[in-house]
Structure formats: C-alpha cells, structure tokens
Structure 1
Amino acid sequence: MAIPVIEPTESPTWYTDAEKYWDTVPATINGMLGGLGQLARPDAVSSLRFLSEFVTPPTSSTASSIINPSNTKSESGSGSGSAAVSTKRQKLPLPGSGPSRVLDCGAGIGRVTKQVLIKAFDHVDLVENSALFVKQAKEEYLKSEIESGKVGEVRCSGLQNVMFEGTDWERRFDVIWCQWVLGHLTDDDLVAFFNRCKKGLKQGGMIFIKENNAKVGIVIDEEDSSMTRSDQVWKEIFAKSGLRLLRDDVQKGFPSGLFAVKMYALEPMP
C-alpha cells in the first residue's frame, strides 16, 4: 500500500521547523547571507538602484554616493516590459505624506535596514521572527540607529501573524520591503500576507520583493523549511493577491551556481 505523500507546506511543523533552523544561524552578516558575506555590497547597490526609480531618498541620505543613475539602465535584467510604467509613476514620498517610512520584513539583524533602507527612507520599522536576531538588532547592530530615531519599532513576529489593520502600522508605510523571507510562507499565507500589507500602506504605497528564483515551478528546501518559487509562480501569486507588477529586474554580480535573484516593484490594484 502506497504511503500518502504530505506536501512540506502542508506539514503542521512547517513554521516551527524554520524557527528551529534559524535558531542555529549566527546573528552576523555572514549568518544572514548563508556564509556569503561578500554578497552584501553588490546586493545593497542593486537594491538602492532599483529603489531609486520609485523613491526619492532623504536629502541627508548617502544613497547618492552609492547610486549612479547613469548605470541604472545597464543594470536592468530581463525586466517585465513595464519600465515605462515606472517612469510615469510619481516618486515616493508623495507630497503631503510626511516623512518617508518603510517596513523591513524578515529583517534578521537589520542588514538590509542598515545597508539599504536607512539610505532611502527617513524612518524604518522592522519585523523579524527570530528573537535572537531581534535582540542583536536592538542591542548591537542597530543600536545607534534606534537611538537616533532612524529606526523605530523592531517587532518579533512571523509574517504569517503580522497585522496592520487596527494597529499602529495601519496606513503607516510608503514601502513594505520583503527580502529572502517570503519563501518561508505557504502560498495561502503569502496571499493573505500581501492582502494585509495593503492595509499597512499609505495612499500610493508600494511593495518591493527580492527573492531567489527557481528555473521552473517550486524547489523545496526541507533543511530550512522554505521554498524557492520560479518567476512564473511569483507572478501568478502577485496577480492572485491583487498586486500590479510595475517592474522587475535581475540582481547582478553574484557568483554563478546560485539561484537567480529577482527584484519586483508592485502596487495594489485599484
């Protein structure tokens, strides 16, 4: 008699298995990048260039020393053919919306916050599932940024449990940034998360995704309880979630042999 196969994402331990894995990872830059700490700079540069098409950084930001607008087009990857849409969209923050605010989802110790988001926005909040990483962010890695007021709340929660409506985070953010974390959410929880995110965005706000891409379908990693979705699967989920894709781009400068990494800029459909 054949033994029924349970899809990993249907396992009752899907999320707790991921928590156990991340509890074994050092709370360092190298740990956040799976032992590939050398990827931090090319990752940050590409992210800032991608953001620069949609976000005007604070006047006090050092982003201009990292972003070279003349190179932005040459960095473009496969694209979605929607670059023309992005050029017509008014950059964030929109007039009258106040200081720019971003939420860093699955923030780890705050690497992306420190190396990217603080340079592009006035204020950053973070949400991270690992209590160990939250402690490191608060007490060491982001201590000075918290004391200066650039970093606000560092919330400990899995994204499947994050709520916006009826909280301090309702209509708070110009941008919600998700990087190398959404593979831990099942498809149903991912769609539900995106729909909740809409309640966290200001008028005209956007969602940015940066994730590994499988060539075809979905690749399951049972070690860290995650999945790597293909570009086609991502776009199907965006459509199902009521998100319009404005632009996508491929990360450059990573070693061969790794999954391709793509960045997606999205906005809620009317």
Structure 2
Amino acid sequence: MTSEVVENEFEFYSKAEKYWKDVPATVDGMLGGYGHISSIDINSSRKFLQRFLRDGPNRTGTTRALDCGAGIGRITKRLLLPLFKTVDMVDVTEDFLTKAKSYLGEEGRRVRNYFCCGLQDFSPEPNSYDVIWIQWVIALPCRPAAQRHRGHQGQHGSGGGDHGRCGQQRLPGPGRGP
C-alpha cells in the first residue's frame, strides 16, 4: 500500500510538472485562461493581506515574503513587492522563473531567491518569512507541502492563499552569477 501511494504521488507531481511546462509564460497562462481577473484578484488579496499588516500586537512583519507557485511573478510584482522589502519565489517551472526576471522589471532586484522546485520538495528554514503566500496552487492536492510550510514564518507571520517539481535548485537572480 505504501509503495502504491508513493508511486501515485510521484506520478501526480510528474504529470503536474509536465502540464506546467506546456503553459504559456503569461498572466493568462498563470491563471488558466482567466487573465482578465488578475486585477480583481490582486485587489482582493491586497485587502486581505493588509488586515495582517496593520499596527497592533500581532502585526505581521514586512521584511520578507515567500511566493509559492510563483509562476512568472504576477503576485510577487503586484502584491508582495509593494508591501515587503524582499520576496523569494518558488515554482516548479524553470521557464516561468526565467520569464519572471524580465516581467518583474526593476523591482525584481528585491527578489532574493528564485527556487526551482515543487512545493512538496521545498523546506524553508524556520522563521525565515513574515508571510508565505500560497494561492491558486493550494487547490491542488499538495496539502502535506502546505503543512510543512506552517511554522516557517516568523512569530506573527501569516500565510495566504500555481504547482508540482524539478529538484530544489536556486536560480541566480538579476546581477548574480550561477
């Protein structure tokens, strides 16, 4: 039974990786053909997130955020970079992370790391993020990965609501060599 579960999990993530490799590296591609809802989504997400960033005893920090299933950086660019000093991005598709470097423009300098791996293989250091943003991708059956990411936020960190795999690998950011 255990080997069957592992094989099915491996098969699931392999299929997910293959699927995302065929998706165009565009906002429309990241949203499965629903690019026209991007602004509505960003505005709603900003309102949600700002509730945690207000002053108060349980205020979330604004130093570092993680964008899970980051794709080309739609959330990083329009939601996280305006609110946080630095952002790390993790995505299964190397082409998306490569495209993100141009899509993000000048603000992309504040992206510290581009991690190319599936969330099931990603284990950030404890307390390394004020916010871990997991949106759209959380609908996929990747719950064990989401559970692992709990506790990797700071004391008052929070997590918010695109994928699957390529061995954890840090890609060089702008101005950084391999």
Q: Give 1 or 2 for the bigger CA radius of gyration.
A: 1
Question: 2: CA distance between counterparts of 1:183 and 1:52?
Answer: 23
Task: Determine helix, strand or coil for the equivalent of 2:75.
Answer: helix
Find out whether 1:109 has 2:72 as its counterpart.
Answer: yes
Contact 1:15/1:184 (8 A) holds in 2: no
Find out whether 1:40 has 2:38 as its counterpart.
Answer: yes
Find out whether 1:201 has 2:153 as its counterpart.
Answer: yes
Structure 1: state its 5+ residue gaps. 1-5, 57-86, 94-98, 212-223, 226-270
Question: 1: CA distance between counterparts of 2:84 and 2:43?
Answer: 15
Contact 2:70/2:91 (8 A) holds in 1: yes
Task: Determine helix, strand or coil for the equivalent of 1:46.
Answer: helix
Moved more, 114-123 or 155-164: 114-123
Question: 2: CA distance between counterparts of 1:161 and 1:37?
Answer: 28
Q: 1:225-244 counterparts in 2 under 5 A? A: none
Query: Which is bigger in relative contact order (C-alpha 8 A, separation at least 6)?
Result: 2
CA spacing shift, 1:152–1:54, aligned 2, 3 Å: same
Find out whether 1:146 has 2:143 as its counterpart.
Answer: no
CA RMSD of aligned residues (A): 2.6
Q: How far is 1:184 from its partner?
A: 3.1
Contact 2:59/2:156 (8 A) holds in 1: no
| Structure with the largest fraction of helix | 2
Q: How many residues align?
A: 160
Contact 1:173/1:205 (8 A) holds in 2: yes
Question: 1: CA distance between counterparts of 2:146 and 2:81?
Answer: 23
Contact 2:60/2:130 (8 A) holds in 1: yes
- Alignment match, 2:99: 136
TM-score of the two chains, using structure 2 as the length reference: 0.79
Amino acid at match of 1:156: C
- Alignment match, 1:26: 24
Structure 2: state its 5+ residue gaps. 165-178
Question: 1: CA distance between counterparts of 2:103 and 2:127?
Answer: 28
Q: 1:58-207 counterparts in 2 under 5 A? A: 90-93=58-61, 100-138=63-101, 140-147=102-109, 150-165=110-125, 170-186=126-142, 190-191=143-144, 193-207=145-159
